[in-house]
Chain A
């Protein structure tokens, strides 16, 4: 063995402790880098699988292909797998219960499609011959058709033609057309074209061609491509073999080769995005950038530690290196010795670190699995599992080697410069200069003689002193970076939680007061409920003069207001909270609840506080908060229900009993364009009894009257489950459950939530959550 290597190894062995510590340091650093890369890979793979579960495993959809071309595409070498699909048409459901779904939508896939398009069978079997179909489980849940496995259906199939003669080719949202006054102008027309007889052989969960808004329930049959006439037109879903940024050109080439003038390509953008082939895509770039930033921080932190280890090792060996130099070791040989040390440490530390990193992430993923499940709103079973692609290992090795190289570079250079004389003289102590080192007398007075010696030492060996300062600064910077990041994620949660003083909200619609009362009783009695409040809200508007606004509101609200000075339109929310909660709220805020009980003279508590994001220098938004109105107790705040121009005659005049910044549960801190008035529920009812029945119906119908229950709970998920059980018998359109903590949790995970909004946006709970949110601040202007 090369004598320099033997020399290095034996020194490493001689300083076992330091060597082991160095190896551990490298291991930890590599483990962190690996963990970051593997975690990103796992997330990306999870997103991909989520999209595949949601949309099917295809990159592009070739629409309106001649059937021969479609068959040829499936055989093309560039195509990994292809599903040929054909739409049969719609079949009307007489008296359908679900407003948006008045039809069955019939589609066929070839045998490949049931797997590739992520069709999930919940009952029965897959179709084996034409004429056999799967039906969507929504048909069982949402309609009264009463179909089941084994049934034979005879259906009149046809096209839906929109006003203007445009046929509907996809299972889209179809609506009637109204004029400005709300009069029906036109409806889509159903044009029958024939009768089919189908046998139901299985139930599938909602397929990708059936959205919650789309016009038809999904019915999926088996397509026998050989029986199609040559002039039939089909759609082909293809997954490419080699996915790269060239996918768009590749698919266009396929269209040109196999399609005709009517053929068009559509891409599965979500899947392409998470496959990283969409150029300049923000989501993927964010994830990637995020990973690199984290790795960069890890590298810096690791270098400052590992560098020290090597520097120490070199300075311990400096005498030996000097001796080697005196018997003829060249600079290169001395430098190589240190690099060899790095190689040795890396050869042990990198594999260990990669193993530890992968193991660590495996354990972490196993541990956070329930959490991941809780904030996925997917109704499909996609697990976030460990994925270790080669590139992640490559990234880990690259950055680990880089870390070690950076750490070794300077010590190696120093080692190469050690001269024989350094060893012979052995002068590594502080070299004293003749210059007197001055220290202030204050030091001596304050800290004593010891401090003076210390200070003189520092001053004499500024280099060492600088190293200490630099490493202090680095650790400080790292600490700040990490805490800033933690803070940022914390703030994201805050941004969700900010202004909300409840955990779970439940909005009722189309339920009678008696039904609501009964439900409230049951829900408030549930064990996880800590506090409960039932709020009714009437939304309206007030037209105010500029001077009715506080100077603060005038300053900031002005940014958004183009209206003339004497026409400040303020959104008004009149909230009735149940009498019990009101009493507690008034007491907590320091008011007498009895003052607000006189139906002849309605009085309300004004929540005179609003927050907003105001534009400050340039384009930066700054959060501001302050008083909203220039009104005080005794002033009147007249307002009209509904939105402007809608029901200007439904005017209510309410006296302000008191103004406060405290909010009862369920009342969110408003923006500067909203004023909230709080009254007991009995008073709220009394105020509303002034409206005519027709007015009330109109307000209710347009969501100007909102009825919601708010509660706090420790075990939010348990509570949601229990509530879901309670409301099982009610139609799903009559309530929305909104778990704020869920949202906060998912917000905490930035890359995750962005993906979640893709995969789940069309689906159940996430959209209902956003609906609930939006109704809390409905139309401010007409």
Chain B
């Protein structure tokens, strides 16, 4: 079943002579439960693609369908609601809210939606992330690995259609990186989460089911390496 379809998406920064094409007519499709790695050099456009898929950046042209919804036809408010319900974003620099504690950061998408997280679900998630003892800590009281685990928790809590990770291990040592990748893989396998992950590290990419290579804003490679 197709969960994501990107149709002829282009993204141009600037205008006139100074225009820079970050994405050039990109099309792709992702099935539900797939684990996709996007690889490419710095400035190849992979982060832009991820942001456009996540509904945080807008394409210059083209369409993005998530669960058959054209997300850029939504108004601003519906798009925001789409983000908190359908997308879990994980960034290289964690991007946690510094004034909210671990539990609040994790449950943020639900809280913004005016929902209360289920106690059992939350406890299970905290247990899974190894953050049970840290639930009242603020982000700056945590290590980098722990912070990234909080952001994974935040991406998982709303059970979104898509989980998007932008170099999630880029800022971590190898031990922590392995742990984070294990968590992401587990969420993909155990909960059947669709996962799109950006990396420039081939070892990380090889853990995925499918690898898409991007160069100069174009898809140059798309192969399924595992079924």
List 19 A–B pairs whose Cβ atoms lie within 8 Å, in order of A's numbering: A3-B111, A6-B104, A7-B99, A14-B99, A323-B97, A324-B97, A324-B108, A325-B56, A325-B83, A326-B83, A327-B109, A328-B80, A328-B83, A328-B84, A328-B109, A328-B112, A420-B56, A421-B57, A424-B91
* B37-60 interface with A by 8 A CB criterion: 51, 54, 56-57
- Are A331 and B100 in contact, CB atoms less than 8 angstroms apart? no
* B57 proximity list for chain A (CB < 8 A): 420-421
A280 to B135, CA, bound (A): 67
- Are A330 and B81 in contact, CB atoms less than 8 angstroms apart? yes
* B91 proximity list for chain A (CB < 8 A): 424
* A325 proximity list for chain B (CB < 8 A): 56, 80, 83
* B68-124 interface with A by 8 A CB criterion: 76-77, 80-85, 87, 89, 91, 95-100, 104, 108-109, 111-113
* B154 proximity list for chain A (CB < 8 A): 327
A453 to B45, CA, bound (A): 34
A330 to B89, CA, bound (A): 16
A45 to B132, CA, bound (A): 66
Q: Indicate which residue in A3, A7, A326, A330 contacts B76 across the interface (CB closer than 8 Å).
A: A330
- A329-362 contact mask (Cβ, 8 Å, vs B): 1 or 0: 1111100000000000000000000000000000
* B85 proximity list for chain A (CB < 8 A): 328
- Does B225 sit within 8 A of A, measured CB to CB? no
- B10-26 contact mask (Cβ, 8 Å, vs A): 1 or 0: 00000000100000000
- Are A328 and B81 in contact, CB atoms less than 8 angstroms apart? yes
Residues of B within 8 A of A (CB): 18, 51, 54, 56-57, 76-77, 80-85, 87, 89, 91, 95-100, 104, 108-109, 111-113, 154
- Are B81 and A331 in contact, CB atoms less than 8 angstroms apart? no
Q: Residues of A within 8 Å of B, CB-based: how many? A: 26
* A327 proximity list for chain B (CB < 8 A): 83-84, 89, 108-109, 112, 154
Q: Indicate which residue in A320, A326, A330, A423 contacts B99 across the interface (CB closer than 8 Å).
A: A320
Q: Which 10 A-B pairs have the closest CB atoms?
A: A328-B84, A420-B56, A3-B111, A10-B99, A328-B83, A330-B80, A330-B77, A323-B95, A326-B56, A328-B80
Q: Indicate which residue in A326, A332, A434 contacts B95 across the interface (CB closer than 8 Å).
A: A326
A324-B112 CB under 8 A given contacts A6-B104, A14-B99, A330-B80: yes
B98's nearest neighbour on chain A, judged by CB, is A320
B94's nearest neighbour on chain A, judged by CB, is A323
- Are B112 and A3 in contact, CB atoms less than 8 angstroms apart? yes
- Does A11 sit within 8 A of B, measured CB to CB? yes
B174 to chain A, nearest CB (A): 26
B48's nearest neighbour on chain A, judged by CB, is A421
A424-B80 CB under 8 A given contacts A3-B108, A328-B109: no
* A275-324 interface with B by 8 A CB criterion: 320, 323-324
A417's nearest neighbour on chain B, judged by CB, is B76
Give the most central of B81, B97, B104: most A CB within 10 Å.
Answer: B97
* A1-20 interface with B by 8 A CB criterion: 2-4, 6-7, 10-11, 14
- Are A331 and B99 in contact, CB atoms less than 8 angstroms apart? no
Q: Indicate which residue in B18, B56, B99, B112 contacts A333 across the interface (CB closer than 8 Å).
A: B112
- Does A673 sit within 8 A of B, measured CB to CB? no
Residues of A within 8 A of B (CB): 2-4, 6-7, 10-11, 14, 320, 323-333, 419-421, 423-424, 434
- Are B80 and A3 in contact, CB atoms less than 8 angstroms apart? no
Label chain A's interface by main secondary structure: helix
Known: A4-B112, A328-B82, A328-B84. 17 other contacts (CB 8 A): A7-B99, A7-B100, A320-B99, A324-B112, A326-B89, A327-B109, A327-B154, A328-B80, A328-B85, A328-B109, A330-B77, A330-B81, A420-B83, A421-B51, A421-B56, A424-B56, A424-B95
* A424 proximity list for chain B (CB < 8 A): 51, 56, 91, 95
Q: Indicate which residue in A332, A419, A420 contacts B77 across the interface (CB closer than 8 Å).
A: A332
B18's nearest neighbour on chain A, judged by CB, is A434
B49 to chain A, nearest CB (A): 14
A329-B99 CB under 8 A given contacts A421-B51, A421-B57: no
B33 to chain A, nearest CB (A): 23
A331 to B112, CA, bound (A): 12
* B111 proximity list for chain A (CB < 8 A): 2-3
- Are B109 and A7 in contact, CB atoms less than 8 angstroms apart? no
B155 to chain A, nearest CB (A): 9
- Are A11 and B99 in contact, CB atoms less than 8 angstroms apart? yes
B152 to chain A, nearest CB (A): 13
A463 to chain B, nearest CB (A): 19
A324 to B57, CA, bound (A): 14
B99's nearest neighbour on chain A, judged by CB, is A10
- Are B56 and A331 in contact, CB atoms less than 8 angstroms apart? no
- Are B95 and A6 in contact, CB atoms less than 8 angstroms apart? no
A171 to chain B, nearest CB (A): 78
- Are A7 and B56 in contact, CB atoms less than 8 angstroms apart? no
B82's nearest neighbour on chain A, judged by CB, is A328
A330 to B80, CA, bound (A): 5
* B18 proximity list for chain A (CB < 8 A): 434
A14 to B165, CA, bound (A): 30
* A419 proximity list for chain B (CB < 8 A): 56
B14 to chain A, nearest CB (A): 9
B105's nearest neighbour on chain A, judged by CB, is A327
- Are A320 and B97 in contact, CB atoms less than 8 angstroms apart? yes
* A423 proximity list for chain B (CB < 8 A): 95
A325's nearest neighbour on chain B, judged by CB, is B80
B110's nearest neighbour on chain A, judged by CB, is A3
A508 to B127, CA, bound (A): 104
A3-B104 CB under 8 A given contacts A327-B89, A328-B83, A328-B109: yes
B78 to chain A, nearest CB (A): 9
* B51 proximity list for chain A (CB < 8 A): 420-421, 424
* A421 proximity list for chain B (CB < 8 A): 51, 56-57
B111's nearest neighbour on chain A, judged by CB, is A3
- Are B97 and A7 in contact, CB atoms less than 8 angstroms apart? yes
Give the most central of B54, B85, B96, B99: most A CB within 10 Å.
Answer: B99
A329-B112 CB under 8 A given contacts A3-B100, A324-B97: yes
Q: Indicate which residue in B56, B77, B87, B100 contacts A6 across the interface (CB closer than 8 Å).
A: B100
A326 to B57, CA, bound (A): 10
A14 to B139, CA, bound (A): 14
A3's nearest neighbour on chain B, judged by CB, is B111
* B81 proximity list for chain A (CB < 8 A): 328, 330
* A328 proximity list for chain B (CB < 8 A): 80-85, 87, 109, 112-113
A2 to B107, CA, bound (A): 12
B138's nearest neighbour on chain A, judged by CB, is A10
A6 to B105, CA, bound (A): 12
A420's nearest neighbour on chain B, judged by CB, is B56
A613 to B155, CA, bound (A): 81
B81's nearest neighbour on chain A, judged by CB, is A328
B16's nearest neighbour on chain A, judged by CB, is A434
Give the most central of A14, A323, A331, A333: most B CB within 10 Å.
Answer: A323
A325 to B98, CA, bound (A): 15
A109 to B104, CA, bound (A): 78
Give the most central of A4, A329, A434: most B CB within 10 Å.
Answer: A329
A10's nearest neighbour on chain B, judged by CB, is B99
A615 to B89, CA, bound (A): 78
B17's nearest neighbour on chain A, judged by CB, is A434
A4 to B97, CA, bound (A): 11
* A320 proximity list for chain B (CB < 8 A): 97-99
B56's nearest neighbour on chain A, judged by CB, is A420
A328 to B109, CA, bound (A): 7
* A324 proximity list for chain B (CB < 8 A): 97, 108, 112
B220 to chain A, nearest CB (A): 25
Give the most central of B51, B82, B111: most A CB within 10 Å.
Answer: B111
A354 to B76, CA, bound (A): 41
* B82 proximity list for chain A (CB < 8 A): 328
A14 to B151, CA, bound (A): 22
A290 to chain B, nearest CB (A): 46
* B109 proximity list for chain A (CB < 8 A): 327-328
* B104 proximity list for chain A (CB < 8 A): 3, 6
- Are B95 and A331 in contact, CB atoms less than 8 angstroms apart? no
